[in-house]
Amino acid sequence: MPSATTVRLATRGSDLARQQATTVKATLDSRRREVTLTEVDTRGDQIRDELIHRLGKTGAFVRALDEEVLNGDLDAAVHSLKDMPTEMPEKLVVAAVPERAPSGDVLVTPDGSDIDTLPEGAVVGTSSLRRKAQLLAVRPNLEVVALRGNVDTRVEKLLAPSLQREHQARLEAVGKLAEMVGDGETAPDSKTEDADGDDTENADSRRC
């Protein structure tokens, strides 16, 4: 059973979310705090066949975690900063912002094609409206379609030789693919500039 000094961290259950939460846990561990991780299922995780901007509410990936903190069941939650709404509950505060992961976007392809060599009409998947707009500004003759699902699963499906591919490429945040990307072309910063908060996580907790 956790002691009175144990910090109970809420995290989503995806591989990426757990990796981010583990980074925060390691930092707290190094500062003489015992830390436990608890997975919390969110609305964004439950509804996998709908695009995020169509779910109808902000905070699809953070609300359930924050409720655990507000209820006192957990002490803090680890979020990707881009998932957080612009207004937080009054009783919560951003307690820490860890070092940002590498920024930028990466085009992932199974054959090493880059933005310039993708054939006309090639289908590119992405979960970001920003990335879609920026890619079409550079290559208006591509077809860009929306994606849902965990980034690791999306990339595995693209690179698996035995599967029928729905897309010729995927456009992802480079920070999320730092340990996964094989062949691919990093998009120039001038063409795919990040939105604030991409590849940044933070821990929020209750105000004292």
At 100-138, the pLDDT tens digits run 777 788 888 888 889 999 999 999 988 888 899 999 999
Written out in words, the top-level CATH class of the domain with range 7-101+200-206 is alpha beta
Location of structure tokens 């996580």: 201
β-strand pairing of 105-108 with 184-186 = antiparallel
Tens of pLDDT, residues 38-88 = 999 876 665 555 555 555 556 677 888 999 999 999 999 999 887 888 888
| Helix/strand/coil percent split, the chain, to 5 | 25, 20, 50
Residues of the chain with CATH 3.40.190.10: 7-101+200-206, 105-186
Asked whether residue 147 carries a pLDDT value surpassing 60, the answer given is yes
Q: Report which residue type is found at 77.
A: A
Supply the residues annotated as catalytic. Answer: 83
Q: Candidates 3.40.50.880, 3.40.190.10, 3.40.1440.60, 3.40.50.740; correct CATH number of 105-186?
A: 3.40.190.10
Among 51, 34, 45, CA closest to 11: 45
Q: Which two tokens stand for residue 208?
A: 């004292």
Q: How far apart are CA 173 and CA 128, in angstroms?
A: 9
Per-residue burial over 64-83, b = 16 or more CB atoms within 10 Å of its CB, e = otherwise: bbbebbeeeebbbbbbbbbb
Query: The whole model's pTM is what?
Result: 0.65
